[in-house]
Amino acid sequence: MTQLGLAQVSGLRGDTPISDRARFDNYYIENWSLWLDIKVLLRTVAEVFRGGGR
């Protein structure tokens, strides 16, 4: 199973520069909250049902 993080559910996959993805990872770390986790979870579920990233 693939884990999706903030960068991935925000559309940053594949050929996206690592610096862009790292920016989202750093934002997540610096702004962590239960609400942010819930948002990432909900967006992950939406991506799975939509078939995003295929």
Task: State pLDDT tens for residues 5-42.
Answer: 888 788 777 788 888 888 888 898 899 999 999 998 99
**Average pLDDT in the 36-54 region?**
82
The pLDDT assigned to 2 comes to 53
Compute the distance between CA of residue 22 and CA of residue 13 in angstroms, rounded to an integer: 12
The DSSP-derived string for 1-54 is: -----HHHHTT--TTS-HHHHHHHHHHHHHT--HHHHHHHHHHHHHHHHHTTT-
Full-model pTM:
0.69
- Domain ranges across the chain: 20-49
Per-residue pLDDT at 53 exceeds 60: no
The pLDDT assigned to 25 comes to 86
Task: Dig out the tokens for 36 from the structure.
Answer: 């942010």
47 Cα distance to chain centroid: 10
The pLDDT assigned to 35 comes to 95
